[in-house]
Chains A and B, each alone.
Chain A
Amino acid sequence: MDISTIIQILFNSLRTGSIVALAGLGIVLIYRTSKATNFAQGSIGTINAFVAGYIAHATGLSIWTSTLIALGTAFLTGVIIDKLFIRPAGRTASPVNKQILTLGIILILTGIMNMNIGILGDLFTPRYPEQFISSSERVMILGRNIQWNTIFIVALSIFLLSAIFLFIQKTRWGLAIRVTASNETAARLMGVPTKTVTMIAWAVAAMLGTIAGIALAPRAPAGLNPGLLIGTQVSAFFAAVFGGFQSFFGPVFAAYIIGFLLSAGRYGMSSYFGQPSIIADLIIYLVILIILYFKPFGIFGKAPERKV
């Protein structure tokens, strides 16, 4: 294997890892503030990625502007879901019931994406949105042509992830998120506006999912489609479990590892074994599943204690 192949795999890993990390951090944010494992993370991102794709297509606006608008609708989607479905369940619903709620949300969003009434039919037409930076813009790195777009996605993700880390660690609002995450009742008693914190968490998670969707869509096999983020979401959950729901850093770290495994595995499977790259996905997911059997609460995680 020459250096240029390694560079190629490296950038593919970073790109896949970044997209998974964005989605995964959203899942962890929501879990930490609402104690809900949000299975609808992928669907929320996809539906807003459709919005960006449609706006760019219908108005001729650049993908940059369209993305900004889609981030606005994503924010709204998060707020609406929190207000309409998650808040009413409140503290009475068990974590498993909250999980089932988010499963119901998947069906509603999938239904909306299948709708064909008025503008919706056009809005949810599968299409390939443009990349942030045209694929012809490339840079030579150690003998390999790397798309600027890939570098941009990785840089954007790392910037966003670091910004969120700093926000959580350094600001008052971040403190509120951490307090809400560790003990909501105590946080509320101490005057932390937990409702607002939870709402913001849903909104931010939705925005992160949307960026993941828009970054993935141009090079996804079927373009924008209702199932766009299914694989990403599965990887993101792998990352969240693997890195531990209890930390913000663990899942992001795990996301890049999974990104690397998938990219390297796909490359190896097609170039060394002559098999379709999908078999690599199968094997990697299977291996991770086996690892999770032995480390069910992640590499950093601890088993929750049951009180007798």
Chain B
Amino acid sequence: MQTLQRILRVLAQAIRKIIKYIKDRPQMQYILLGTVMFFIGRSILLGDTPSNADYFAQILIYTIVALGLNLLLGFSGLVSLATAAFMGISTYGMHILMENYEVNYFLAALIVLIFAGGLGLLVGVLSLKMQGIYLAIATLFVAHVIGELFRSFEAFNYGESARISEITFFGETSLSGYAQDDRIYLMGIVAIGLILAFVVIHNIVKSPSGRAFMAISRSYHAALAMGISVRRYRLLAFMIATIFAAFGGILYLTYMQSTGSVDRNWNLELSLILLAIVVVGGMKSLPGMLLGAAIIIGIPEFFFTPFEEFLQGFGPLENISLRGFDDIFTGLLIILTILFYPYGAIRIISRLKHTVQSKFQNKPSKGGDAA
């Protein structure tokens, strides 16, 4: 009996130690989060409706892009409506490099990321001139020009989607979206990308750079007076956001094995959805991006569709369609968040956590409880 108690105590201690270890290392939390996401994705792939895994992978990919956009919008206070266009540049870029020039996958990804960084720099330069409300308009123009570019040239399949049959990584190792086993690996790649994105953004926002990004948006003059070059950090914010969009595009091409099309994927609507993920998830919150993506992409895909089928089960409603409700849902969420809940959905969770904690520990609450 005593031995059992001792074993239990040692076990409890070990668990407590592990929890403390993870708690002290936010990077570990993100690795854990990514791993959990991978296993959820894997179980969807092995489940009854593996096609749902596409939406799940998109949630993860859009989370990555939203993390970059959050650095721009949430931290640096800069709006961009060209995010989807940058994703498109990356998918088409990968396709052209790999299919037309037979460049290795990793080299192609590197080239695309560097190119995206340069493009971000250009838009950043534009942002130095056009500020505030003009910036969103300028990025709208950029997105439009990129869209016209895709539609104009054959290299981009005139803006239509182009498929890749399989992706060759090293020598013989290749993964095809048609094979179920391969798709589990592909999901793994997306999950690793997610972890990478989380850790990189976490490291940035918790560093002196993170402080500088916040300073240029919230106390512009003080930032200058304290030696922060507004120009430098604006350019950096745009470069990072664009590189993240391109990274998301690379993962999209990798998982979906298609470039996507200008009209259905890389349009203003997707840029707005990404913006919605940041706004609804909670500006400045990193886990909020995953939450935002899960709400904005997940709820319509995983709840609206089954609900539609459920409604169709009733005689007179057999032809009902809930098409369009996803956009209305997203649009309403953006508006309601801006009007009533500017800290986003993540604030609800941190509030809950806070109440629970103070209930149990009976500690007086402090001022700094924001997410």
Residues in A lying within 8 Å of B, measured CB to CB:
37, 39, 85, 88-89, 93, 95-97, 99-101, 103-117, 121, 227, 230-231, 234, 237-238, 240-241, 276, 278-279, 281-282, 285-286, 288-289, 292-293, 296-297, 304, 306, 308
Contacts and interface: CB of A to CB of B under 8 A. Distances in A.
B144 A285 contact: yes
A28 to B, nearest CB: 12
Given A237-B141, A278-B151, A297-B134, A103 B326 contact: no
Given A108-B332, A111-B324, A113-B324, A100 B275 contact: yes
Contacts of B148: 278, 281-282, 285
A227 B79 CA distance: 22
Interface residues of B, number: 52
Interface string B123-136: 00110011111101
A292 B126 CA distance: 9
B321 interface: yes
Contacts of B142: 289
B236 interface: no
Nearest to A278: B152
Contact of B338 (A93, A231, A308): A93
22 contacts: A37-B133, A37-B137, A85-B339, A89-B339, A96-B136, A99-B133, A101-B339, A103-B275, A104-B272, A105-B335, A106-B331, A111-B328, A111-B329, A111-B331, A117-B321, A117-B322, A234-B140, A237-B137, A282-B145, A282-B149, A288-B141, A289-B142
Given A100-B338, A101-B334, A107 B141 contact: no
B84 interface: no
A115 B331 contact: no
B152 A282 contact: yes
Interface of B: 77, 79, 81, 125-126, 129-134, 136-138, 140-142, 144-145, 148-149, 151-152, 220-221, 263, 268-269, 272-273, 275-276, 279, 320-335, 338-339, 342
Contacts of B79: 96, 99-100
A106 B321 contact: no
B77 A96 contact: yes
A97 B9 CA distance: 53
Among A111, A116, A289, the most chain B Cβ lie within 10 Å of the Cβ of: A111
Given A101-B335, A111-B331, A234 B130 contact: no
Among B77, B151, B152, B221, the most chain A Cβ lie within 10 Å of the Cβ of: B152
A115 B331 CA distance: 14
Contact of A114 (B129, B323, B333): B323
A292 B268 contact: no
Given A96-B77, A285-B148, A296-B129, A107 B136 contact: no
Among B126, B149, B220, B327, the most chain A Cβ lie within 10 Å of the Cβ of: B327
Given A100-B275, A296-B134, A114 B335 contact: no
Given A234-B144, A282-B148, 8 more contacts: A99-B136, A106-B268, A110-B331, A113-B324, A234-B141, A278-B152, A279-B152, A297-B134
A31 B279 CA distance: 23
Contacts of A110: 269, 324, 327, 331
Contact of B335 (A104, A227, A240): A104
Contacts of A109: 331
Contacts of B328: 107-108, 111-112, 115
A107 B331 contact: yes
Contacts of A241: 134, 137
B331 A237 contact: no
A306 B222 CA distance: 13
A115 B324 contact: yes
A96 B132 contact: yes
A296 B134 CA distance: 8
A88 B339 contact: yes
Contacts of A85: 335, 339
A111 B325 contact: yes
A148 B285 CA distance: 58
